[in-house]
Structure 1
Amino acid sequence: MATRRTETTQESRRLLVQAAGELFAEKGFRRTSFVEIAERAGISRGSIPWHFGNKLGLLEAVLEDRLQAMLAGFGPPEGAADPLEQVMGFVRLPVTRLFITLLGEAVEDGSPIREHYARLHAALRQGARARMRSAALPAGVDPEAFTVLLVGAVIGVHAQWRVAPEAVDLEAVRAVASALLPQDLARH
C-alpha cells in the first residue's frame, strides 16, 4: 500500500514531467530552465535533480511518458479504427508539438536527445509496419522504405500544420493519403 510520501513523490514527478513537456514544446529543450519548470509545476527547483538527476534525465522522462501515451492511443492493429484517422489524430495531438519542436535540436551533431529521436522514429516505423503486414504494396516497393516514407510524411505534415495551420487542410491531406495508399492498408 502506497504511503502518503510515495503518493506525494509520484505526484511531484508527474507535475514536473507535465510542466517540462509543456515548456519543451513551447520553447525547446535548451531554452527551458529548471526555474521555469519548477514554477510551472508549482514545485521546488531542487526536486528536479532529486527526481531525474539532471535536465537530460527529465527530458528522457518526458519523452518516454509522451511516447507511451502516444503509442497507447494507436491501439492494436487488429480490429482498430481506420489507420488513416489514427494518423491524422496523431498529427492533431498536442504532444506531437513536443516531438516536432525538439526535432530541430535532435538533428544537431552532439545533441543529447538524438538517440531518443532514433528510438521514437523506430517505434513509429514499427507501428506502421505492424499495420502494413497484410497490405499489398506495389511490386518492387520495399516495405521498410515505405514505412520510412510514411513516417516522414506524417512528421512533415505535422510540422507544416503547426507552422501555418491556415495553409494546411488536414482533411484534404487525409483524403489524398487515402487515395494514394494501398486500399488494404487504408482499410486495415
Structure 2
Amino acid sequence: MTRSTRRAETSRQSRRLLVEAATALFAERGYRRTTFEDIATRSGVSRGSIPWHFGSKEGLLAAVVEDIATRLTTTAGALDPGTVDQVLATLTAFTRAPSTGLFAKLIVEAEDPDAPLREVYVGLHNAIRAQVRAWVTRLPRPDGVGAEELSTVLLGVVIGIHQQWRVAPGAVDLDRTYATLAALLRSAGITAPTAQ
C-alpha cells in the first residue's frame, strides 16, 4: 500500500469515526449543545479534523443526516415490500433504529426557516417519501388515492408515531400501533402488491 493510499484510508476512517460520534452525540444532546470537543473526544479523532473534513459544524450535520438517509434508503430499497404487514414491519424497525432518534431530537431546530438544518431535513423527507412512494405504487389503492398523497400520509403517520414513542416509549406500543395502521390500510383495500 502506498503512502497516499494509506493517507486516503486514514482520512476515510477519520471521517467515518467523526460521523458516527456526531450521530450519537446529536441524538443524545441535540445539535446546538454538542461541541467539536465533544465529538473529538467521542471519536478519538483530533478536533482540528472536523473543519478539515466538513468545513463547519453545519457541514458535519449535513454529513450525518446524509449518511443516515443513505443507509435508510439503501436498506429500504433492497427490501421487497410484499404485504402491508411487511411494509409496516420495515417501518417499525426504522422507528426503533437508534439513529432515527436523531430526527426527533433535531426537528425543532429544522423548523426555523433560517436554520441550516432545514434544507437537510427537506432532502431527507424527500428521500424517504420517494422510497415509500416506490412501495405504495405497487399496492392496490382505492379510487382517488394517489401514490404521492398516500406516501405523504404514511410518512406523516410514521413521523408522528416515532415522535410520540421517543418522548414517551412506555405510553406507545409500537407493535400494536403499527398493527392498527395495517388494519386501517387493509380496510381501505390497500393489501398486497400488484404484479409488476
Post-superposition offset of 1:134: 2.9
Matches within 5 A, 1:21-170: 21-76=23-78, 78=80, 82-170=86-174
User: Which residue pairs with 1:174 in the alignment?
Assistant: 178
Aligned length: 188
**Residue identity opposite 1:119 in structure 2:** G
State the TM-score, normalized to the length of structure 2: 0.88
Cα 1:64/1:151, change in 2 over 3 Å = same
Q: Deviations over 1:93-114 (max 9, x none)?
A: 1111011211111111211110
Could you tell me how far 1:37 is from its partner in structure 2? 0.7
**Amino acid in structure 2 at the alignment position of 1:152:** G
Q: In the aligned structure 1, how far is the partner of 2:176 from the partner of 2:76?
A: 21
Q: Which residue does 1:20 correspond to in 2?
A: 22
Return the offset for 1:75.
Answer: 2.9
Bigger shift: 68-77 or 43-52?
68-77
Superposition TM-score, scaled by structure 1 size = 0.92
- Equivalent residues of 1:135, 1:185 under 8 A apart: yes
Q: Which amino acid aligns with 2:70?
A: Q
CA contact (8 A) 1:87 1:154 kept: yes
How far did residue 80 of structure 1 move?
5.4
Cα distance, 1:77 vs structure 2: 5.4
Residues 77, 131 of structure 2: 8 Å contact kept: no
Residue ranges of structure 1 left out of the alignment (5+ in a row): none
Question: What is the rounded CA distance, in whole Å, between the counterparts of 1:77 and 1:131 in structure 2?
Answer: 10
Alpha-carbon offset, residue 143 of structure 1: 2.9
Amino acid at match of 1:54: S
Identity %: 48
Distance (Å, rounded) in 2 between the aligned partners of 1:74 and 1:132: 13
Tell me how large the CA RMSD over aligned residues is.
Answer: 1.9
1:5 is aligned to 2:7: yes
